[in-house]
């Protein structure tokens, strides 16, 4: 479970995230929607302990990311935006290295690597050098490392960014399948992913939550029944004002 309470991050006078509170329950896939610059990545970096909140807190499986960061991070699998890879390693070599970082060893390490490769459909490229992979396979390799320790919570930042339609479909289906047994929070600005993967979604704009509900509930908030129209209505105030 993820519990976010009054999470705030400011850089000087600018608030990137402004008093956010929400909960993601086990077995729930929450889509974190918003335009570029809305505060999605900053929120995820705070929940994962990558950056420190200016105020507020987030608890992961009951552990405060501020007071118990080590325990909280043990529960998290994190796919950051533009996740780094070591191009001179093979896929299996990279995953073994990441398993070492997670303190996995012996049969547990072997099983974890094999399970991640199978889950992310990497069998055909497992022994290839990462620098020879297509963008889709590189993305799957990044996702595989987040699953190695079988985390209870997955936090995925733009998990389908830059993928072709077939690759996006595969990743969306994988997220949906993993969501049956894990707590998943993933950010996106691709509204189709709400119907494809999410049990619930929130829309954020300028660091604040402006809508929260199931896909059907969000569509019902728009006179046209369109999530695209609701998204535009809630996140384009500055453009509308400047045009006026």
**pLDDT by residue (tens digit) across 185-205?**
998 888 888 888 899 999 999
pLDDT number for residue 176: 87
Tens digit of each residue's pLDDT (9 = 90 or more) over 50-108:
999 999 999 999 999 999 999 999 999 999 877 788 999 999 999 999 999 999 999 99
Task: Give yes or no for a contact between 160 and 167, defined as CB atoms under 8 angstroms apart.
Answer: yes
- 240 pLDDT higher than 50: no
The DSSP bridge partners found for residue 7 are: 20
Question: pLDDT grade, residue 241 (50/70/90)?
Answer: very low
Diameter of the chain by CA atoms? 65
Calpha distance 225→155 (Å, rounded): 29
Q: Tell me whether strands 2-11 and 14-24 are parallel, antiparallel or unpaired.
A: antiparallel
Domain ranges across the chain: 2-75+152-243, 82-150
Residue 238 burial by Cβ neighbours in a 10 Å radius (0-12, 13-18, 19+): exposed
Tens digit of each residue's pLDDT (9 = 90 or more) over 24-42:
999 899 999 988 888 898 9
Specify the CATH number of the domain 2-75+152-243: 3.40.50.300
Tens digit of each residue's pLDDT (9 = 90 or more) over 110-164:
999 999 999 888 999 999 999 999 888 888 899 999 999 999 999 998 888 777 8
Q: What is the pTM of this model?
A: 0.87
pLDDT number for residue 131: 93
Calpha distance 115→113 (Å, rounded): 5
The DSSP bridge partners found for residue 185 are: 30, 155
Tokens coding 25: 């329950």
Mean pLDDT of 208-214: 93
Say which DSSP state 94 is in. Answer: H
């Amino acid at each position: 479970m993820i519990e976010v309470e009054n999470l705030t991050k400011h850089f000087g006078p600018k608030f990137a995230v402004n008093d956010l509170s929400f909960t993601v329950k086990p077995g729930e896939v929450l889509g974190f929607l918003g335009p570029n610059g809305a505060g999605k990545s900053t929120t995820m970096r705070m929940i994962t302990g990558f950056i420190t909140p200016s105020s507020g807190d987030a608890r992961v499986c009951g552990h405060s990311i501020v007071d118990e960061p080590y325990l909280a991070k043990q529960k998290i699998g994190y796919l950051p935006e533009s996740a780094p890879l070591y191009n001179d390693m093979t896929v299996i070599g990279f995953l073994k290295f990441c398993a070492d970082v997670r303190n996995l060893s012996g049969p547990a390490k072997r099983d974890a690597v094999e399970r991640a490769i199978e889950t992310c459909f990497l069998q055909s490229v497992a022994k290839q050098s990462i620098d020879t992979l297509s963008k889709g396979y590189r993305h799957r390799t990044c996702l595989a490392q987040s699953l190695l320790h079988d985390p209870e919570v997955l936090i995925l930042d733009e998990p389908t960014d830059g993928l072709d339609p077939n690759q996006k479909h595969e990743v969306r289906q994988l997220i949906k399948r993993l969501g049956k047994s894990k707590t998943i929070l993933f950010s996106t600005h691709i509204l189709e992913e709400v119907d494809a993967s999410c049990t619930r979604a929130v829309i954020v704009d300028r660091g604040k939550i402006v809508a929260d509900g199931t896909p059907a509930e969000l569509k019902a908030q728009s006179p046209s029944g369109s999530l695209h129209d609701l998204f535009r209505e809630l996140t384009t105030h500055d453009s509308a004002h400047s045009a006026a």
